[in-house]
Structure 1
């Protein structure tokens, strides 16, 4: 048992996602850290042992005395719940699902190989889902002993340089050897060949990065859990215990529940009472946001529940379409166009977005400004809150998120199958059918659901998302009037055009970008007058030799 193992007390739980490229030593590091293992820890799945790689989420934990910033909130200990995520490219759905429940991320990097393809995707997932990150530079024992320090510094600099383009720039990089002498071999029984190197420093670094969640919720039966939010629980494993009932293990995403309270499994549309709860084998009476635990109910077939949700009855809907505020992931080199098929991950569920509705399918709308600093739109943000009409880009670039970073966009998403999720869920859009052997990022955009819609109610969709296509006409300045600010222009309208319809519209001159407004017609040949704003100073507002469009 590691030296940092302590007895349980009034504890603050932190979910730490352990991510990295396949064979970087994630599970070995989890084994070196953990003091308590769940039923799904350390690659216990038979296929995981057969193939020698992590195939599913694994959960374990260790507990340490709380640092000062956590003690000030009344907690004596911090429990780190480790979420061991697969590293293979084909298991990206599982990785995304696991990442959505974490507070802090440990990125495991093979010191001799540096940033690899799936390492980069893990960084992107971390940017979307994690508030902070610590890098574990693993397998430093493979460097020659006399050059280990120099090689470690070089590897740290290379990783740090890669992270400068991300929100994790400047994050700690801790050299470790989770299983010295093993050469990266799969964990067998959780025992290391030699004492781990640097793991205590990693624990200390994690403690320094722990922050209280906002709003603060209490855990482990303190009785101070927020009562205003409905209970929402992400289920990742389910199994039966003879004579006891069915146990659903997972993470509390919000709210609280007590033993004896009713909960709903919305995908099955059944309600059960909580018979008992345990947090890493310790019985508890109440749980709160962030807690990792098992909930026991009776008369439920465990085979019906693999992954899913449990919640306060009536609080999680099933829907076929939604409007979301999304932002393109800047490392995605492709285009996100209207009417394109994308994989949308909501919690542990991944569905195709495959709508073909005319006009409203997957249009992406520019927003004024940006939301919170994290980039993820705030829960409850709604298209109707913004009065300005959204622009739909013209044919060929319709609704396109290009390589240029456009900020947050509105997206109408229609799913290929009904989705059961919270109405303000985090979503991640991706192209999971892309070639696994390329070095391109498959994660395209992320955001948060803002409102649910009925795809058959086209009238409400048009009210919710007013759309127009910008059109442009080009003409020429024929002459500048004596005031230097009024121009007579031609070439934009036919002589029979009613220019009253265009009075007040904006005109931009090129080159120079001088703006003006159409004042009305000039004569009966289709010519018109434009008044340009005066420039600061005493000079005229326009150079007579310039042209306008």
Structure 2
């Protein structure tokens, strides 16, 4: 039996193997509900390979997408999740004791639909995991209670029933210690078994040695699902859904239905769309009219931000696409680079150096890029250091001078959120919606290393394409601080010093005319040094030559 843990708005400790309970036993709404007032919450299921993510999704789900529960032949052959899987279950608001007491939900919605995003656990599939992380509202972090937080393993252990609670308590204590300095420190932990097997023990004596044999019988009902759903409902925060503005849809699967057309399944990231409206597939530079739409096999006329849907269009070869974007025509540019606000991931242990190559992920697209860091060091120690305290992401201003940075600094009082930026130059042009989340990683690091491979994240502030590349190059004001040191040879007059060793013979002095002399390091307290110190107080605003 595997025990796993789960965390974000909820942290679960789970055990695994698999039978689905009836919908009544876990308090979910029946699929036949006719209400149109549905609150959709996208819940990511993440964790290590073989920790039981797909088994958990299976026992929770009452409706499956076309790519759910490892349906692909490759996934079934290898026995692991290779791509994002989508499924859902519904909770009736009126009949649930927690949801019915929350007026912000009960007054506006009849049921809550939890769309489960089952992410791969294998380290080599991190590109897919990163893509899935950008479409979720909440997260389950599934942790094997036998092994805790791990890098990579495929072993499956079993825990005798009499020692389960002790094992759960021990692992919960360890996880609290690990998570105490993260945003998950207060997340509740729930022990869950998706499919506990019933085990009989028979004692056999052979050569005066007692041996125990465990013989699996029929699996019993899942353990802990009601408590996990209650915790999930308790921590629901109604996402900000905006159906205005341009439409943006990120699809992760594309397939053909004979006599109907091509179906693209994905998540609405921005805006809304209705049947018969025109959308663009920017990677093919094609515009198509929407023929029909479904949400988990139910026809709908309109989808809005946050909805998981299938969109059907005609006269499109599905073999040309696997994943990508649908959008309002001409709203997703092809960029050569970008300026982003940026933060270092504190679990990344190496220096993040300027002019380094990183793998940069935008949605489901990953490419390589060179990064240059710049920003402003904050000297006011009362400056806030989180997005919640600052209120909003700092906006890049072309009129401000920024200092060049050799490497990205961790978030601190000196470098709060919003004080650091990056100029990213893609090795190949990338379709990149404005305001996209950008994630930088070192995916070429060996998979058997235990360190974090995600180096930084940020938000796109300004795109760079062929039309504005030269303009931005000419107006971007990034400076480097340079120091030249010399010695005072003698005092010529009360406001003039004669110096040496400040410049080489080949230096063009014209570029230094008008620069300020700010100070001198005194190495002794001779009468001459005392006189020079007094003199410098008078000439520190005088110019050279």
Question: What is the TM-score when the length of structure 1 is the normalising length?
Answer: 0.76
Query: Which structure 2 segments of 5+ residues have no match?
Result: 1-21, 94-98, 200-217, 379-383, 490-496, 524-530, 541-545
Counterpart mapping for 1:109-258 below 5 A: 109-117=143-151, 142-181=158-197, 193-214=219-240, 216-217=241-242, 226-227=243-244, 229-258=245-274
Deviation at 1:71, TM superposition (A): 2.0
CA distance in 2, matches of 1:33, 1:267: 36
Deviation at 1:154, TM superposition (A): 1.6
Residue 294 of structure 2 is matched in structure 1 by 278
Distance 1:102 1:244, change over 3 A: same
Residue 127 of structure 1 is matched in structure 2 by none
Contact 2:343-2:411 within 8 A present in 1 as well: no
CA distance in 1, matches of 2:425, 2:484: 35
Q: Are 1:421 and 2:432 an aligned pair?
A: yes
Distance 1:159 1:260, change over 3 A: same
Deviation at 1:491, TM superposition (A): 8.0
CA distance in 2, matches of 1:182, 1:421: 51
Deviation at 1:96, TM superposition (A): 0.4
Deviation at 1:170, TM superposition (A): 1.0
Q: Are 1:334 and 2:326 an aligned pair?
A: no
Contact 2:338-2:461 within 8 A present in 1 as well: yes
CA distance in 2, matches of 1:283, 1:379: 38
CA distance in 2, matches of 1:318, 1:379: 24
Contact 2:46-2:118 within 8 A present in 1 as well: yes
Secondary structure of the corresponding residue to residue 211 of structure 1: coil
Contact 1:327-1:375 within 8 A present in 2 as well: no
CA distance in 1, matches of 2:425, 2:445: 21
Contact 2:485-2:502 within 8 A present in 1 as well: no
Residue 101 of structure 1 is matched in structure 2 by 135
Distance 1:458 1:240, change over 3 A: closer
Residue 411 of structure 1 is matched in structure 2 by 422
Distance 1:461 1:73, change over 3 A: farther
Distance 1:108 1:506, change over 3 A: farther
CA distance in 2, matches of 1:73, 1:475: 75
Residue 91 of structure 1 is matched in structure 2 by 125
Contact 2:192-2:222 within 8 A present in 1 as well: yes
Q: Are 1:53 and 2:80 an aligned pair?
A: yes
Q: Are 1:6 and 2:29 an aligned pair?
A: yes
Q: Report which of the two structures shows the higher radius of gyration computed on alpha carbons.
A: 2
Secondary structure of the corresponding residue to residue 39 of structure 1: coil
Question: What is the TM-score when the length of structure 2 is the normalising length?
Answer: 0.76
Write the deviation string for residues 155-213 of structure 1: whole angstroms up to 9, x where unpaired: 11111211122222211111111121299xxxxxxxx9321111111111111111112
Q: Pick the aligned partner of 1:23 from 36, 50, 56.
A: 50
Distance 1:297 1:510, change over 3 A: farther
Distance 1:11 1:364, change over 3 A: same
Q: Identify the structure with bigger relative contact order (alpha carbons < 8 Å, sequence gap 6+).
A: 2
Write the deviation string for residues 189-242 of structure 1: whole angstroms up to 9, x where unpaired: xxx93211111111111111111123x44xxxxxxxx33x11110101111111
Contact 2:249-2:266 within 8 A present in 1 as well: yes
